[in-house]
């Protein structure tokens, strides 16, 4: 009996916490959500929850990691006969002259340089290797929802949310300007989401709260209330009498 009461209290607490997170305008989502069931229903169990990422959109200056399809030049200062241009294969491996295949996907340039030095140390004495990226994934952002041209766009220089919306074709008449969602990777496997009231910023003419985009950000513009009832309105011009 006590265990049933405790379970009800636990569920109620979880519901209240989720509701508070939604009302606060920010949520944290994980790539994969796993549900765990205690093996013995009659035994109370406890497990440490994964640490949540830092609150807010903090600036992250992580190093670029090698991806499939990237290409780079290898320059050997003392052994130019090993100079070569390398392309990362779809499986993340590269084929090196005189060494063979090595897995490099997911490594930063300093890590890649160390991997190459270790590999070539088997045939060269203390090799001096320089890595120069040639073709790699450019910084980008994704725009989706009720905008003119949803898609993936290059992120060039400093760009704010409202600028990104303009580049993606602007709001459609079905857009809900007051609840634009901005998704950002907070840490490995975690994404944070923030609700931005673009309508309020535009009405006040104050863009101080217009967030700067970071590589990999995704903005999503939901539908407004009018767009949901529009199919049931006999005449489309009646939309002028409905607040959006």
Across-strand partners of 193?
A: 27, 183
Total number of residues shown for the chain: 244
Task: Please work out, in degrees rounded to the nearest 5, the angle formed at the alpha carbon of residue 219 by the alpha carbons of 217 and 224.
Answer: 170
Dihedrals φ, ψ of 152, to 5°? -105, 130
DSSP strand E in 137-179: where?
140-145, 151-154
Asked whether 213 and 168 are in contact (CB, 8 A), the reply is no
Structure tokens at 67: 């991806």
Residues in the chain with pLDDT values less than 70: 1-62, 188-189, 226-244
pLDDT recorded at residue 99: 93
What 3-state DSSP class applies to 83? coil
Contact criterion met (CB below 8 Å) for 63 and 109 = yes
How big is the CA angle at 118 (ends 115 and 119), to the nearest 5 degrees? 85
Cβ neighbors of 8 (< 8 A, separation 6 or more) are: none
Give the residue among 144, 156, 170, 134 at the shortest CA–CA distance from 215.
156
Give the model's pLDDT for residue 62.
67
Strands (E), the chain: 26-30, 71-76, 84-87, 93-96, 100-103, 129-135, 140-145, 151-154, 180-187, 190-196, 218-221
Q: Give me the pLDDT at residue 4, please.
A: 46
Task: Determine if the pTM surpasses 0.75.
Answer: no
pLDDT single digits (tens) 97-113: 999 999 999 999 999 99
Q: Identify the structural domains of the chain with CATH numbers, from first to last.
A: 71-135 (3.30.1950.10), 140-229 (3.10.560.10)
Calpha distance 50→25 (Å, rounded) = 21
State the pLDDT at residue 194.
92
**Per-residue confidence (pLDDT) for residue 191, from 0 to 100:** 79
Strands 190-196 and 26-30: antiparallel
d(CA 163, CA 180): 13
| pLDDT for res 229 | 66
Dist. CA 179–CA 23, nearest whole Å: 12
Question: Given this model, what pLDDT does residue 227 score?
Answer: 65
Q: Any residues with CB less than 8 A from the CB of 202 and at least 6 apart, and which?
A: 162, 177
């Amino acid at each position: 009996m006590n265990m049933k009461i405790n379970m009800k209290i636990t569920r109620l607490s979880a519901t209240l916490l989720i509701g508070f997170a939604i009302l606060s305008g920010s949520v944290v989502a994980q790539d994969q959500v796993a549900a765990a069931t205690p093996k013995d229903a009659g035994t109370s169990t406890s497990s440490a929850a994964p640490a949540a990422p830092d609150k807010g959109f903090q600036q992250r200056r992580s190093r670029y990691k090698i991806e499939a399809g990237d290409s780079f030049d290898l320059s050997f200062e003392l052994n130019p006969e090993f100079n070569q241009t390398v392309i990362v294969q779809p499986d993340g491996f590269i084929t090196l002259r005189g060494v063979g295949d090595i897995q490099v996907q997911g490594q930063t340039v300093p890590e890649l340089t160390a991997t190459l030095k270790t590999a070539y140390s088997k045939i060269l004495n203390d090799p001096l290797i320089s890595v120069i990226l040639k073709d790699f994934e450019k910084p980008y952002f994704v725009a989706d929802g009720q905008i003119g041209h949803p898609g993936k766009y290059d992120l060039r220089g400093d760009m704010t949310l409202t600028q990104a919306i303009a580049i993606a074709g602007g709001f459609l008449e079905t857009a809900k300007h007051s609840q634009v969602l901005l998704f950002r990777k907070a840490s490995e496997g975690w994404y944070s989401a923030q609700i931005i009231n673009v309508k309020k910023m535009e009405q006040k003419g104050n863009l101080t709260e217009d967030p700067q985009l970071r590589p990999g950000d995704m903005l999503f513009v939901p539908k407004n209330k009018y767009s949901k009832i529009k199919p049931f309105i006999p005449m489309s011009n009646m939309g002028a009498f409905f607040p959006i």
